[in-house]
Amino acid sequence: MKTNSSAITRVVDKNIPYLSSAVAIWRPRAVLRSWPGVAIALVIALSATFISSNYGGPQLLYALFFGLAFHFLASDPTCKPGIEFCSKILLRTGVALLGARITFNQIASVGVTPLLIVVGGLVATLGFGYLLAKWLKRPITEGILSGGSVAICGASAALAISAVLPQTKENEKFTLLTVVGVTSLSTLAMIVYPLLVKLLGFDPTEAGVFIGGTIHDVAQVVGAGYLVSNHTGDVATFVKLTRVACLVPVVLGLSIMFKRKDGKSEVDAPPLVPFFLIGFVWLVITNSLGLIPQEVNGWINNASRACLVIAIAALGVKTSFQSLASLGWRPVIMLVMETVWIAAFVAIAVLLTR
């Protein structure tokens, strides 16, 4: 019985780290460690909500900007656990709960074309990263890693792809640089892209396809989408999670390409199917079948919004644009060029398919 229990624990810890982290965070000792950071994110979120409700303006953007002002607390040992909890566990919970807003009819109304644009942009960006690495005379693995992080889901994709690449000190260092760089660029895109879609004259659906198909991390996609409109936010979330789902075939393909000499795969730590994506799909199915009462649906939507505002506030606290400058010019050039590439690809594709 003890052996079975240990085996189950290892499976949960290895394949569903989100679930094990979510359970662990509610242990009394973990709660005591986390509450200062959670309280800070909550106060920032409440302040952003108050300003938005009384004076107008985007609630999520206020939360981000207010959070940036408290970046000095990001490395504080007292506040860090709670900030990490809000920016990861609470964020993923909020994204999963967004599934209650979406039905299969809404997905069908978006059409097949946006999905083809997203897949095309993903493949094109991976290829562009490969060619960019050769042009800059950098290892091919760096082009694959940076291109995959930009094309799929930011820092999460960088960590997952890194696990299947040859395990060297150079690749480990570049992975850390990519995580920092792609997070900073994604936060910048969250601020700029809602303005860009208006300049390009995109309608709410087109704006959602562009935002969901270009911004790297899920949190910033959600923030940018709902800055434009609720419909844009819904479309952007669905499109983005389609990109996240593409992580599975990409990582499996790379694991075959980069098998160790003993024939074993390097795939180990990161989960191929994020737990929050499963929750999102389950709620979409449940909502489409009409199994969620209207009143309960409203509660879920409010809970999702609250989680996301607090998570964006915590994300602001964690964000440091100064750290991007410390990466050196090659990783920055690669990430910036790949970010511009996927934005241009998706924007042109949306304009051509109107």
Q: Quote the domain boundaries for residue 39.
A: 34-260+268-353
Asked if residue 171 belongs to a domain, the reply is: yes
Q: Which residues contact 93 (CB under 8 A, 6 or more apart)?
A: 22, 276, 307
The more confidently predicted of residues 215 and 25 is 215
What's the pLDDT at 326?
60
What's the pLDDT at 351?
92
Q: What is the overall mean pLDDT for the chain?
A: 79
Phi-psi region of 139 (alpha: psi -120 to 50; beta: other; left: phi over 0): beta
Asked if residue 63 belongs to a domain, the reply is: yes
pLDDT digits (tens, 9 = 90+) for 68-126: 889 888 888 888 889 988 887 887 788 788 788 777 777 777 678 888 998 899 999 99
Asked if residue 284 belongs to a domain, the reply is: yes
Segment 311-334 mean pLDDT: 74
Domain count, the chain: 1
**What gap in Å lies between CA 77 and CA 68, rounded to an integer?**
18
